[in-house]
């Protein structure tokens, strides 16, 4: 359907989820959805930064897109990929462990993995419904630096050799030896943006 390709449709979805969250939080938890996010957003942002390094989601630049369709779609794609990974790894891993001689350990591993998988599914669903909608408006502004770096065709590299500093600018696709450090944020735009969100929300929390 053409409507699913329109950015305004996903913008309306984001607004609808925000309105729904405000209703649910106010009715069941007696607290504003916005107030709750402002109070806990810095912790959420810090946790998100750790997740970006654990799963290397910096390759999914759509997570900081200003386009509502790309933003929302990238989160759904990321969650879909992780759910597929849980299913594939769990199925093959448990089968392999069950071929071992110590059946108790295999059963224990399988049980813990199932609990872990169910926990992650709940986290993914809650993240998509609660965090993703309101965080879009922070990404819209604070994601600007990351998007600018991503749009640049060049990368800035530095090599530290005792008291001597070498700096070079190369095309994004060009490779250099491992002793060169990428000093731009183009390689980790999502991590940088989430860290910036956590910092801003920490400051905001101090004043509320």
Please name the residues in contact with 7: beta carbons below 8 A apart, sequence gap of 6 or more.
67, 68, 69
Q: Are 174 and 43 in contact (CB under 8 A)?
A: no
Q: What is the pLDDT of residue 120?
A: 86
Could you state, in chain order, the average pLDDT of each consecutive group of 10 residues for the chain (208 residues)? 79 96 95 92 87 82 94 91 76 56 70 86 91 96 93 86 83 78 83 93 84
For residue 166, is it within any domain? yes
Q: What is the pLDDT of residue 93?
A: 58
pTM of the model: 0.84
For residue 114, is it within any domain? yes
For residue 162, is it within any domain? yes
For residue 1, is it within any domain? no
Q: What is the pLDDT of residue 96?
A: 58
For residue 2, is it within any domain? no
Q: What is the pLDDT of residue 4?
A: 72
Please give the C-alpha separations between residue 197 and each of 42, 103, 166, 175, 183, in angstroms, as whole numbers.
Answer: 7, 46, 32, 31, 20
For residue 50, is it within any domain? yes
For residue 105, is it within any domain? yes
96-142 pLDDT tens trace: 554 555 677 777 777 888 888 889 889 989 999 999 999 999 999 99
For residue 200, is it within any domain? yes
Could you give the number of structural domains in the chain?
1
Taking Cα atoms as reference points, which of 42, 8, 30 lies closest to residue 142? 42
Angle between helices 189-207 and 33-55 (to 10 degrees): 150
Given the DSSP bridges, would you call strands 164-171 and 154-161 parallel, antiparallel or unpaired?
antiparallel
Q: Which domain holds residue 177?
A: 7-207
């Amino acid at each position: 359907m053409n409507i699913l390709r329109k950015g305004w449709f996903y913008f309306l979805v984001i607004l609808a989820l925000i309105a729904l969250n405000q209703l649910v939080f106010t009715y069941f938890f007696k607290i504003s959805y916005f107030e709750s996010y402002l109070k806990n957003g810095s912790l959420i942002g810090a946790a998100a930064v750790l997740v970006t390094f654990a799963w290397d989601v910096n390759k999914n630049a759509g997570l900081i897109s200003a386009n509502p369709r790309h933003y929302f779609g990238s989160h759904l794609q990321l969650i879909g990929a992780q759910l597929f990974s849980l299913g594939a790894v769990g199925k093959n891993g448990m089968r392999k462990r069950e071929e071992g001689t110590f059946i108790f350990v295999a059963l224990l591993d399988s049980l813990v993995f199932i609990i872990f998988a169910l926990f992650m599914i709940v986290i993914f669903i809650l993240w998509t419904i609660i965090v993703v909608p309101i965080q879009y408006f922070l990404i819209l502004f604070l994601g600007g630096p990351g998007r600018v770096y991503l749009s640049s065709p060049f990368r800035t590299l530095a090599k530290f050799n005792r008291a001597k500093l070498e700096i070079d600018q190369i095309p994004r696709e060009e490779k250099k030896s491992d002793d060169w450090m990428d000093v731009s944020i183009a390689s980790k735009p999502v991590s940088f943006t989430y860290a910036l969100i956590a910092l801003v929300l920490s400051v905001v929390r101090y004043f509320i």
